[in-house]
Amino acid sequence: MTRVLVVDDHALFRAGVRAELEGRVELVGDAATVDDAVAAIAELRPDVVLLDVHMPDGGGVEVLRRAAEMEAARARGSPATAGAGHGAQLPGSAPPRFLALSVSDAAEDVIAVIRAGARGYVTKSISGAELADAIQRVHEGDAVFSPRLAGFVLDAFAGEPAPSPDAELDQLTPREREVLRHIARGYLYKEIALRLGISVKTVEAHVSAVLRKLQLSSRHQLSRWAAERRLVD
């Protein structure tokens, strides 16, 4: 089952979401503030974060910003991530994907959270079955929107040039590119660590960073991405 963290500042709403999703997904926790959400993401490493847009201490955009900073620090092996949660992180897990869930259907709210990194946006009028389906689709890499909200995103991004393969590759550090090429050649994490003289955990962190930056979700997708761009000898 897809592992889900629920972030909303209203306890009654969180309880309702849990009741609707029980048995459809694995609910690993919930959070009511930005700080608690970031800590829970670091500790629990959910597959999908179900994220409220408006909260008193910064809301969904702030959670997305801090989660992205945390992933970048984690990829660098920074000790800063160790204090982000209350327990040990689950090594090797991919960064979570984010699905915004809000009462608001205002264009500025939709565009803000999508620009900040959310994969989808649905309103709180959604049914439990539809929400579970949206969570699964976001986990698999799809973009999901309530009816008419997708138009806001299309309008906002219309005319923006799509990133070229070179631009996507430029996001990666030299070490991340090395790890990517080894993954594409079929090496295991342990083998990559030995060849590059780094730890297995560092390899896992680099893979997580590459997955996040390229918006992919598996080693298979990484290998295919590298092959399509002829990065493999």
φ, ψ for residue 99, nearest 5 deg: -120, 115
Q: Give me the sheet containing 48-51, strands edge to edge.
A: 26-31, 3-7, 48-51, 97-102, 120-123, 144-145
Higher pLDDT residue, 156 or 68? 68
DSSP bridge partners of 27: 4
The pLDDT of residue 220 is 76
> Per-residue pLDDT tens for 75-124?
666 444 444 444 444 444 678 999 999 998 888 888 888 888 899 999 98
Amino acid at 185: R
**pLDDT for residue 88:** 42
Produce one character per residue of 128-155: b if its CB has 16 or more CB atoms within 10 Å, e if not.
eeebbebbbbbbeeeebbbeebbebbee
Q: Which tens digits make up the pLDDT trace of 23-74?
A: 999 999 999 999 999 999 999 999 999 999 998 888 899 999 999 888 877 7
As a whole number, the mean pLDDT across the chain is 83
Q: Which of 132, 44, 35, 95 is nearest to 217 (CA)?
A: 95
82 CB-near residues (< 8 Å, 6+ apart): none
Kindly tell me if the per-residue pLDDT of 128 is higher than 60: yes
Assign 233 to helix, strand or coil: coil
Task: Provide the pLDDT confidence category of residue 185 given band limits of 50, 70 and 90.
Answer: confident
Q: How much is the pLDDT for 175?
A: 87
- When mean pLDDT is compared across 37-41, 199-203, 229-233, the lowest value belongs to 229-233
Collapse the DSSP code of 21 into the 3-class scheme (helix H, G, I; strand E, B; otherwise coil) and give the result: helix
pLDDT at 63: 94
Half-sphere exposure for 73 (CA within 13 Å, toward CB) = 14
Give yes or no for residue 161 having a pLDDT over 70.
no
Q: Which residue has the higher pLDDT, 144 or 231?
A: 144
* pLDDT at position 75: 67
Banded pLDDT at 157 (limits 50, 70, 90): low
Given this model, what pLDDT does residue 131 score? 95
Highest mean pLDDT among 58-72, 127-141, 180-194, 212-226: 127-141
Highest mean pLDDT among 143-152, 154-163, 224-233: 143-152
pTM for this model (two decimals): 0.63
Average pLDDT for 126-145: 92
Query: In whole angstroms, how far apart are CA 204 and each of 20, 38, 74, 192, 201?
Result: 34, 20, 10, 10, 5
